[in-house]
Structure 1
């Protein structure tokens, strides 16, 4: 009887010890080795096509009160995107990835047209195949004469823990359809 009581007591102590240690939601904090940071610059073109039978951007919601039905990108419109990323601006240029995410038209004034976008810019070819950079930023589209800048807020694969910025320049835009080809020059800091 004493041996059963002793075994039961030891089992109970072990259970309490294991339960106490597994209740923690965090691990040991230790200094990170951040001396291996790299900077990579990549240039590609994003094709955002709203028109035709096979668009790469589609409006999934819009506010009834703020835009005309014939406006391709009225204020409050929300778009889902699956835009091709290519080496050059031409339609038949080599595809190297895709930009998937969404953007919302965030300005009432068409002369100051701005979108707020989230996109995962994934590479499916070449050196960065399987990697991506994530952007989440305000994009002042109406500043098409010059470059505008959006923030890189993360990444995966070779761009793990990415931060940085993308300079965007409008290569071509059709104001009637909203179709655009944009040059992206990304400066990516990563490990």
Structure 2
């Protein structure tokens, strides 16, 4: 009788252990789905050229300071003082003029990341979205350091992703300042993007 009870207990423990292992290995308990080889198309490269208007001054700015460092001295009063954080909804246009055709918007944030105004640099995250033409509904994402004070030549920021036609994008944007007013912080920038995508 004791032998039968012992075998019944062993059988019950083995069955319980097997059920627990099976439950732990089932797809419903894992946070991931299936992994399979990617069916990628041939990689393409697209070159885009447009202008971004970052306007801080006036009654209808496209970028506003949402925070700044609590400093003594003039930096907190400067339009682009060190530690200033801006939210942006900047128009993207075909040409540099304020009446040029709008093709999208650059939305995101940037922070003034240099103490020395003569070496003015921002660190930016922006989603550059196109709202017309061939790439309507698509965007490229930028997350990079932007050395604004290097006006003499082009500076480069990195493309880290995108949406729509630019899914999985990577690449770079060469930026040249078309116009900047260091008193107000207003700027018009030429963007020449080289986008690698599928």
Q: What does residue range 1-191 of structure 1 map to in structure 2 within 5 Å?
A: 20-65=26-71, 67-191=74-198
Quote the residue 1:10 is aligned against.
none
Give the TM-score taking structure 1 as reference length: 0.88
How large is the Cα RMSD of the aligned pairs?
1.7
- Between the aligned partners of 2:159 and 2:167, the Cα distance in structure 1 is 12
TM-score (norm 2): 0.85
C-alpha distance in 2 between matches for 1:123 and 1:21: 39
> 1:22: Cα distance to partner?
1.1
Q: Which moved more, 1:114-123 or 1:64-73?
A: 64-73
The number of residue pairs the alignment matches comes to 177
Deviation at 1:119, TM superposition (A): 0.2
Which residue of the partner structure matches residue 9 of structure 1? none
Structure 1: runs of 5+ lacking an equivalent: 1-12
Unaligned runs of 5+ in 2: 1-18
SS at match of 1:178: coil
Distance between the aligned counterparts of 2:93 and 2:171, measured in 1?
21
Runs (4+) off by over 4 Å: 16-19
